[in-house]
Amino acid sequence: MPALPSSSTQTASNKGRFISFEGTEGVGKTTAIDNLCNQLQTAGIDHIRTREPGGSPFAECLRTILLDPMTNINDDTELLLLFAARCDHIEQVIMPALARGTWVICDRFVDSTMAYQGYGRTYGEPLVLSKIEQLTEQFIPYLPDLTLWLDLPVLEGMARAGKRSTADRFEQQATEFFTRVHEGFTALAAAHPERIYRIEATGSSEKVGARVWQAVENKFDMA
């Protein structure tokens, strides 16, 4: 069972809230984040939206390398580049925003590493899961306050995403890869029910947006 650290890694406790969105390819994270940011704006809540890999200038450079289909690197190199990008993103963007009381809405975070590198790449190999846990413990000062896992059948997500013309290095993976990634998210949600909420991602984007908003209202005092 995957166990991201909880004792040495603290959740952000100041006024700014940290929300991450997760899921397999094409589940509708970008669309759901658009909706949530509109609702936060209407509610007068100061927020930023960001993403991983990326989010800071240096991390965006690493994103370009990581997503480039011509990049030929092994699994450990990929894992370390993701954490290098994340360290910079946290220091440059996430931590300053939370410190000034701004909410951070992040498209993917450390759960994606568990699901994609831990399960997608290596079938949940315990040694790899343990490496990810250790890197998280060493380098990640905050886990999100709330992680919204948009759960959609893998093929449905791929069909939504497949309407695009080009595929990046991850999107080129076979269906079996995304099935393992989905198993990873399922296991993570079971292991961390206090943080990871499953959002049913079928139905219209309006319906998904309403489910997301309800989860946010349930989790935080919005007054």
CA distance 65 to 178: 21
3-state secondary structure of 157: helix
Query: Which one of residues 58, 139, 170, 220 is an interface residue with ligand Z5A (CB under 6 A)?
Result: 170
Which of these ranges, 6-14, 98-106, 189-197, 204-212, lies near ligand Z5A under the rule CB under 6 A?
Answer: 204-212
Nearer to ligand Z5A among residue 2 and residue 26 (C-beta): 26
The Cα-based distances of 124 to 78, 179, 187, 196 in angstroms read: 16, 12, 10, 19
CA angle 83, 195, 17 (to 5 degrees): 75
Output the smallest distance, CB 208 to ligand Z5A, in A.
5
Question: What element of type H or E holds 105?
Answer: strand 103-107
Output the smallest distance, CB 25 to ligand Z5A, in A.
4
Question: What element of type H or E holds 77?
Answer: helix 75-89
Nearer to ligand Z5A among residue 97 and residue 212 (C-beta): 212
Alpha helices in 90-199 (DSSP H): 95-99, 110-112, 126-139, 154-161, 175-191
Tokens of 146: 């709330």
Site string for ligand Z5A, 83-122 (x = CB under 6 A): ------------------------xx---xx--xx-----
Nearer to ligand Z5A among residue 148 and residue 221 (C-beta): 148
- Contact residues for ligand Z5A, defined by CB under 6 A: 23, 25-31, 52-53, 82, 107-108, 112-113, 116-117, 160-161, 163, 170-171, 204-205, 208
